[in-house]
Amino acid sequence: MVQSPPADSVAARFHRSLELEQNGQINEAIHALNDVATSDYLVVLRLGWLHYQNKDYDRSRGFYEDALRLSQNRSVEALLGVTLPLAAEDKWDEVERAYQRILALDPKQYDANLRLGQIDLNRRDYAAAEPHLVTVQRAYPGHYEPNLSLGWTLYHLGRTDEARTCFMRALMLSPDDASAKEGLKLVP
């Protein structure tokens, strides 16, 4: 028979924090972990998430950076966490650097490639966007966002046949998507 952890253990308090968050009690979820040792990676990572949910972006980023240090700078999930408060504060150059750090750890990582490609697409740097979007679209050809973003990138690079294929796939995955419909109208 498996016994429950003691009520004051880190695991029990972590689980209590999860329950409180599910009930929309973010401050209480943070409080459940406040005096737990901050040398536990999962606790620190969770505090980063909870402070992000609470829109306390400085503290969120600090906890995510602490989690990254605890992982000896190897945690992709902590770096992904760092991007959340940075993006919320429109610190796009720092978001981009975090995604580059992720790709140094995992060159095919889905979110980093997709988001870097979309950042470059929004900056109209289509040549820079293409390799990131190709990487993610090849690995996940059945996903909507990579197809749509790559479609627009290819359209702007003048590769309309390839763009059409991506727009059609995006529409197959999201039949009412206005952006994919617009893209299809633009390719001959």
Is 164 found in the same domain as 100?
no
Q: Is 159 exposed, middle or buried (0-12, 13-18, 19+ CB in 10 A)?
A: middle
Provide the whole-model pTM.
Answer: 0.87
Residue 81, domain extent = 9-106
Domain count, the chain: 2
Q: Name which of 22, 58, 29, 27 is nearest 46 in CA terms.
A: 29
Is 91 found in the same domain as 177?
no
Contact 94, 86 (CB under 8 A): yes
Question: What pLDDT was estimated at residue 113?
Answer: 98
Q: What is the pLDDT along the chain (188 residues), one digit of tens a residue?
A: 555 555 568 899 999 999 999 999 999 999 999 888 678 999 999 999 999 999 999 999 999 999 999 999 999 999 999 999 999 999 999 999 999 999 999 999 999 999 999 999 999 999 999 999 999 999 999 999 999 999 999 999 999 999 999 999 999 999 999 999 999 999 98
Q: Name which of 33, 34, 28, 35 is nearest 11 in CA terms.
A: 33
* 141 DSSP assignment: T
Query: Position 80: which residue type?
Result: L
Identify whether 101 is part of a domain.
yes
Q: Name which of 22, 180, 123 is nearest 132 in CA terms.
A: 123
Q: Name which of 143, 167, 141, 144 is nearest 154 in CA terms.
A: 167
Q: Which residue, 65, 90, 106, sits at the end of a domain?
A: 106
Q: At what angle do helices 110-122 and 92-105 cross, to 10 degrees?
A: 140
d(CA 123, CA 172): 27
Identify whether 89 is part of a domain.
yes
